[in-house]
Structure 1
Amino acid sequence: MFADSGVYTIAIGGNKTLHVYCDMTTNGGGWTVFQNRFDGSVNFERNFTTYENGFGDINGEFWLGLKFIQTLTEKPSEFRYDLDFDDHNPLYERFGRFQLTGAQYTLSIDNEALDYSGISYPLGEQFSICNGAPFVAFVYGPEITCDIGGRGGWWYCNQRCDYNFNLNIVYGTEIFIKQDSSLEISRIIKSSRMMIRRI
C-alpha cells in the first residue's frame, strides 16, 4: 500500500529534522517538493537569505530553502518539474542528476532530460545552459550587477539577468518556451512544482 502525498518529517543529519511535502503519486512517488506555486499568494521576490532558509506555507505555496535542497542532494538525486499554463496544456521534464554545491548553491544538472511530456521539443538545455551558475536573488551575487527586481531568485547565467526560463518569476509573468530548435512562444505559468528524489 502506497503512502499518501502530504507533509512528512524527515531526518537531515544528526538530530535535525525537516518538514517537507512529499509527492507520493507522480511517476512512482517518493518525491520531495522544494518549490510549489499555484495562485500567487506567496511573494517570490525575496532576498538571498530568505531563499537560503526557505519561505511560504508547506501546505500551500513555498520554497523549501537552498540550504535544505543542498543537503538533500548531497546524495545522487533526480529532478523533475511540472508546469501548467493559462491555456491548460501542462508539461513536465525529468532529469537524472540535480545538485547544488558551495556557499552560492551552484547549479549542477544533466544536459538532457530523461523523459518529458506536453512539449514537442525538450527544454533541458534551458536549464543546463546555466550549469555552474550561482543562485542569485535581488542584487546579490558575484559578478552580477543587474537589478533583478520582479524576477525572483534563480540561477542566472549572464550579467544582464535576462534569462527567461525562471520558475520563481513574479506570478503571472510570461516566460518563453521552446517549441523546436528555432521557435519560442510566450506562455503564462499558472502552476509550477519542482521536486527531487533520491536515486
Structure 2
Amino acid sequence: MDYTSRNILVMCILTFIEVMTFISSIDISFKKYHHDFRLEGYKCVPNETIFEIDNVDPVECGRLCYLNSICAKIFYQPNSHKCIGCGHQLSPTDNYETLPGSMSYTSEYETDCKHILESRRAVPNGLYEIGLWMSKKIITVFCDMNTEGGGWTVFHRRIDGTTDFYRNFSEYENGFGSPNGEFWLGLKYIQEIASQGTTEIRLEMTRENGEEGFETYKDFKLVNGADYTLFVQRHTASAPTDTEQTLHTNILSEAFSFASTAGWPFSTYDRDKDSDERRNYAVEHHGAWWYAVGSGVNLNGKYCRPGTRCNDGVSGLTGHYHFGFAKDESLKSSRMLIRRV
C-alpha cells in the first residue's frame, strides 16, 4: 500500500469513528480515537485481545471496537483485512506481538472511573488505566462499577493485613501496594482526581462478624498543595442493625466520623502535621491520617486480628478502626472511594 492510499485509509477510519461519536451523543456517550504511529507493525498480546477477525473492512473494524464496551484500541492490517480489538490502552512499554503492516488506533484516556463508565457504558469492576486530567500521567486504578450506580475510583483497600500501611510521607504521596489487593493510591493522585469537579467520597467498613457500615460526603477535596488538607461537607452515615444488614441512617457517631478531623493536613510518622507539637499521633496510632488531636478513624492503622482491641500498651489504640462504627474493635476490611458528582 503506497503512502497516499495509506493516508486515505487512516482518514476514512478516523472520520467513521468521529461520526459514530457524534451519533452516540444522544446517549451521552463519547469516545474519541487517534492514530498511534508508535505501535504500527504490532498487535496486542493474546490476554488483552478482545476479538480478532479476518476479512473485515476498516469501517467495520472501527465499528466493532466502538460497540464493544471494553475495547480501547484496534490494530488493523490493510493487506489481509485483519481487525484486532484490544482490552485497554497499551503503552509502548507493554509487550506486543508483531503484525507487519498493521496500523494502531487508540481511544483517548478517560480521567477517572466515572469517565470510563460514561464513555464505555456497561463495564465490570476491575483495573483500568486512566490519564490524569492535569498532569496527563497514566496510572492504573481499580474501578467499582456496581456500588450505588458505579463509577467509583477506589484509593484505599484493606482486606487481610498483607500490606504494611505504616509508611513514610513519600510512600503515601506516591502510593503503594497492589490495586488488586491491599493498596493506597497516592495522595497526589487522589488530590488531582478529586480536583476535576465536585467529588463525593465513600468510606466502607466491615466488622469481624460481617456487619457493614459506610460514610459518604458530597464534597471532598484535598487542599493546600502538598499538605493535602482534608475538606469535606454534607455527611451521611449508616450501619446495620439486623441479620439482613438493612442500612439505617445516622447510626454512626458524628463525633468520631471521617469529617471530625476536616481542616487538618495529612500526617505520617516522618511528617507530623497534627495539632499537638508535643506528640506525634501518626506514631502513637501506628498509622497515617488527617490527625487533629488523634482521630476516631484510623483506617491506615495497624492491621490486627479482626474483632480484637489493638493496643500497644503505651500510647493506646494503634489498630485499623473506626470508632464511630465499631468503637475500638479492629476491623476486618475497609475501602475508600471517590466519584465526581
**Which of residues 268, 289, 294 in structure 2 aligns to 1:154?**
289
- The corresponding residue for 1:134 is 265
* Alpha-carbon separation, structure 2, partners of 1:116 and 1:163: 19
**Which of residues 142, 159, 170 in structure 2 aligns to 1:38?**
159
Are residues 73 and 174 of structure 1, via their aligned partners in 2, closer, same or farther at CA, if it must alter by over 3 Å? closer
- The corresponding residue for 1:106 is 229
Is the strand fraction higher in 1 or 2? 1
Q: Quick one: higher RCO (CA 8 Å, sep 6+), 1 or 2?
A: 1
- Give the TM-score taking structure 2 as reference length: 0.52
**Which of residues 121, 124, 128 in structure 2 aligns to 1:8?**
128
Which of the pair has more CA radius of gyration? 2
Equivalent position amino acid for 1:103 in 2: A
- The corresponding residue for 2:71 is none
- The corresponding residue for 1:197 is 339
- The corresponding residue for 1:91 is 213
* Alpha-carbon separation, structure 1, partners of 2:296 and 2:260: 12
1:123 Cα deviation from its structure 2 partner: 4.0
What per-residue deviation string (whole Å, max 9, x for no partner) do you get for residues 32-69 of structure 1? 00000000000000001110000001111000000000
Q: Which runs of 5+ in 1 are unaligned?
A: none
- Give the TM-score taking structure 1 as reference length: 0.87
CA contact (8 A) 1:134 1:141 kept: no
CA contact (8 A) 1:55 1:63 kept: yes
Instruction: Name the SS for the 2:173 alignment partner.
Output: helix
1:98 Cα deviation from its structure 2 partner: 0.8
* Alpha-carbon separation, structure 2, partners of 1:157 and 1:178: 16
Are residues 69 and 123 of structure 1, via their aligned partners in 2, closer, same or farther at CA, if it must alter by over 3 Å? farther
Instruction: Name the SS for the 1:70 alignment partner.
Output: helix
Instruction: Name the SS for the 2:235 alignment partner.
Output: coil
1:7 Cα deviation from its structure 2 partner: 0.5
CA contact (8 A) 1:139 1:145 kept: no
Q: How many residues align?
A: 191
* Alpha-carbon separation, structure 2, partners of 1:72 and 1:10: 10
Equivalent position amino acid for 1:141 in 2: D
The root-mean-square deviation of aligned C-alpha atoms, in Å, is 2.1
Equivalent position amino acid for 2:286 in 1: R
CA contact (8 A) 1:111 1:124 kept: no
Are residues 70 and 191 of structure 1, via their aligned partners in 2, closer, same or farther at CA, if it must alter by over 3 Å? same
* Alpha-carbon separation, structure 1, partners of 2:205 and 2:340: 21
Identity of aligned residues (%): 37
* Alpha-carbon separation, structure 1, partners of 2:327 and 2:127: 36
What per-residue deviation string (whole Å, max 9, x for no partner) do you get for residues 92-122 of structure 1? 1221111001220000011522x53426623
- The corresponding residue for 1:47 is 168
What per-residue deviation string (whole Å, max 9, x for no partner) do you get for residues 67-87 of structure 1? 000001112100101111112
